[in-house]
């Protein structure tokens, strides 16, 4: 698996330092308020798992499934958002967490859905931001790393369902590069 990676962008130590910094900021912001994290499946689970353990507040955690019907990467279909039924969001301060912000469609749709559930405040946190690829006007409130347009794997990020378990974030070699769009979940 490691051999498929051509270049490491952020090793485990660099990721750890950034997650630590993000958690510190989030802790300060929500110190005297309620906090419900909503993590977007599946890619954000590694990031969310590390992040919550560095936030020493009484927080809640929910998951949201976002799936698109995009067959080819040029024609993304409508997104289907499945919010958690077990976590009430009405009147809550919600922090939506995703591992990567690409075109922005997923995050924008999840934010809309959380607002429609009656959340009081909705903020966003992503580990990686690919600003150059944005198709929807959305910026995350908390960003770990900014990268240029590259397809990255590891630390939750997949190609065709694989590589999520790599402890670092890297770029695949040409022979392992995606032939089609990324798994939207």
Residues acting as catalytic residues: 102
Q: Does 50 bind ligand IMP (CB under 6 A)?
A: no
Q: In the range 82-111, which residues lie near ligand IMP by CB under 6 A?
A: 98, 100-107
| Closer to Mg ion by Cβ: residue 30 or 113 | 113
Q: CA 104, CA 64: separation in Å to the nearest integer?
A: 16
| Residue window 24-53: x/- pattern of binding to Mg ion, with contact defined by CB under 5 A | -------------------x----------
Neighbours of 119 (CB within 10 A): 21
Strands (DSSP E) contained in 102-161 are 121-129, 142-146, 152-153
Q: Does 140 bind ligand IMP (CB under 6 A)?
A: no
Closest CA relative to residue 164, chosen from 154, 173, 150, 151? 154
Where on the chain is the footprint of ligand IMP (CB under 6 A)?
40, 43, 98, 100-107, 151-153, 157-158, 182, 184
């Amino acid at each position: 698996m490691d051999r498929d990676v051509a270049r490491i962008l952020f090793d485990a130590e660099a990721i750890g330092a950034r997650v630590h910094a993000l958690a510190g900021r989030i802790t300060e912001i929500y110190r005297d308020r309620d906090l419900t994290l909503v993590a977007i499946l599946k890619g954000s689970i590694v990031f969310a798992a590390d992040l919550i353990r560095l936030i020493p507040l009484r927080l809640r955690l929910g998951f949201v499934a976002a799936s698109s019907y995009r067959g080819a990467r040029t024609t993304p279909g409508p997104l289907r958002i499945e919010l958690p039924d077990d976590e009430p969001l009405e009147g809550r301060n919600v922090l939506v967490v995703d591992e990567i912000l690409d075109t922005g469609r997923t995050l924008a749709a999840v934010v809309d859905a959380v607002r429609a559930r009656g959340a009081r405040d909705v903020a966003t946190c992503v580990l990686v931001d690919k600003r150059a690829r944005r198709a929807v006007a959305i910026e995350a409130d908390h960003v770990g790393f900014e990268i240029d347009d590259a397809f990255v794997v590891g630390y939750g990020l997949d190609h065709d369902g694989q590589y999520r378990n790599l402890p670092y974030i890297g770029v695949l070699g040409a022979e392992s590069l995606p032939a089609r769009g990324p798994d939207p979940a």
